[in-house]
Amino acid sequence: MAKLLTPDICVIGAGSGGLSVAAAAAAFGVDVVLIEKGKMGGDCLNYGCVPSKALLAAGKAAKQGQGSAAFGIHAGAAEISFSEANDHVRSVIAAIEPHDSQERFEGLGVTVLREHGQFTSPDCVSAGDHEIKARRFVIAAGSSALVPPIPGLDEVPYLINETLFNLRETPEHLGIIGGGPIGLEMAQAHRRLGAKVTVFEAQTALGKDDPELAGIVLDALKDEGIEILQETAVERVEKTGDGIAVTARNEAGDTVTQTVSHLLVATGRAPNVDSLGLEAAGVDFSKKGITVDKGLRTSNRKIYAIGDIAGGLQFTHVAGYQAGLVIRSILFRLPVSMDNDQVPWVTYTSPELGHVGLSEAAARDRFGDKVKVLTADYSGNDRAQAEAVTTGRLKLIAGPGGRLLGAEIVGAQAGEIINLLSLALSKKLKMKDLAGFIAPYPTLGELVRRAAISYYADMPKSGWLRFGIGILRKFG
């Protein structure tokens, strides 16, 4: 007979969002049951953000080991051990694991069930030999790699993010289907660690970002020897004696065939909506994810959904942001509303590519000719010159009254600079605020001030201001 648990909150999924809800609720003394059928920490810790950034760091170290002619350092070819780079990935995961572990959360007072959770009714979840009837439920079951129906793909060995980081030897030639952030980050990491890399992108690589700034990233990757085939859709793959033959067709209608030793599928994510019993729970969903309102509630008002499974922007920090909203709603009965306009994202290639708020195109659609785009180039920044990282540009999107609507940046430490701009956006700051703060010299953060100051570039030409200054001078 199943054991009945009646917590205040039941969370399904121990990834970033689910762990954040469980920890926050437990901190307030609320009874929580957390259900996870796989690894604690979810995709981000085990197969996504953490291992990918660790491998990127290894690739960056390999690049630095070759020296830099700009500084007069000629080290030659670096000796690379791919297996040791993989060991670094494993060690990073191991270092973070205790923070997300079952033991830690049980120490916080959370009941953790390492079982598959499934709704059996609108107010009951079954997990192993337990039944959970809670006041509120939070579904945070995440997403999985989306594998497209390419003919022959099911007949060849291919990699996804869950298997990529198991490689112990450098791929001779890594083919990547998908030119989004994941595909291009892994392209650069593996290229720097010694692999030949070809990327196949059916549309435009980094298509969600500013085209001009994304182009700077693509040029940098091509300069490192990565072949990026845009507007080139993979039509079939097949096993050959030499590896895996990938046949694609470009926008001109020409057929392109490349034989690769390894194939990575990086074509996006699919929400894990299957086998959760969502029909029994009365929760509306589609292939895009669970349908939620601005407050992240589902069609069953007792049930919330957060993170990748709720559709929308699929980032770890979005799941964390949504977890905070759900806690405010469940515990304090406060009205909450998801605001996608404030969500930043970063592609961690070299150079990095960051975004927050409205893009230039979206801002012009909403505010027309009241939008000003202000720029500052890395080449005009003293710190960038000193460190020979002069490839890059910052764009500030200013709206009516000089309010910051969005920002785009490509270049060194773009992810760190976008933090400042994310805060500025959330606080509704204007160009006068960004032009007026004191940035230590020399830092890349001065790019923000330089761009913001350009908002006032025409002021010295104002006849009225010049007249006023003339009047004030007469008073001594």
Domain ranges of the chain: 3-145+270-340, 153-267, 351-458
Lowest mean pLDDT among 76-80, 345-349, 414-418: 76-80
Binding-site residue numbers are 53, 117, 178-185, 201, 268, 308
Same topology for domains 3-145+270-340 and 153-267, yes or no? yes
CA-nearest of 218, 170, 175 to 198 is 175
Is there a cis peptide before residue 351, judged by omega within 30 degrees of 0? yes
Binding-site residue numbers for FAD are 53, 117, 308
**Assigned CATH for 351-458:** 3.30.390.30
Using DSSP's 3-state secondary structure scheme, residue 246 falls into strand
pLDDT score of 348: 98
Rounded Cα distance between 307 and 326, Å, is: 11
Rounded Cα distance between 235 and 268, Å, is: 17
Q: What is the rounded average pLDDT of the residues 273-293?
A: 97
Sheet containing 372-377: which strands, arranged edge to edge? 345-347, 352-357, 404-411, 393-398, 372-377
Rounded Cα distance between 82 and 376, Å, is: 38
pLDDT, tens only, 221-258: 999 999 999 999 999 999 999 999 999 999 999 999 99
Measured between alpha carbons, how far is residue 458 from residues 405, 409, 455, 462 in Å? 21, 24, 8, 7
Angular region, 301: left φ>0, alpha ψ -120 to 50, beta rest: alpha
pLDDT score of 464: 75
pLDDT score of 463: 75
Rounded Cα distance between 393 and 179, Å, is: 22
Neighbour-count burial for 199-215, b at 16+ CB within 10 Å, e otherwise: bbbbeebbeebbeebbe
CA-nearest of 466, 415, 332 to 30 is 332
pLDDT of 63 over the 90 cut: yes
Rounded Cα distance between 202 and 250, Å, is: 8
Neighbour-count burial for 106-118, b at 16+ CB within 10 Å, e otherwise: eebebbbbeeebb
Binding-site residue numbers for NAD(+) are 178-185, 201, 268
pLDDT score of 386: 97
Strands (DSSP E) along 230-295, which ranges?
A: 232-240, 243-250, 255-260, 262-265, 269-271, 285-286, 289-290
In the CATH hierarchy, which fold is given to the domain comprising 3-145+270-340?
A: FAD/NAD(P)-binding domain (3.50.50)
Q: At what angle do helices 181-192 and 211-223 cross, to 10 degrees?
A: 20
Rounded Cα distance between 266 and 262, Å, is: 13
Task: Tell me, yes or no, if the pTM score tops 0.85.
Answer: yes
Is there a cis peptide before residue 271, judged by omega within 30 degrees of 0? no
- CA dihedral for 41, 46, 47, 51, sign (positive or negative): positive
- Quote the DSSP letter at residue 151: T
pLDDT, tens only, 200-213: 999 999 999 999 99
Q: What percent of the chain has pLDDT over 90?
A: 92
**Assigned CATH for 153-267:** 3.50.50.60
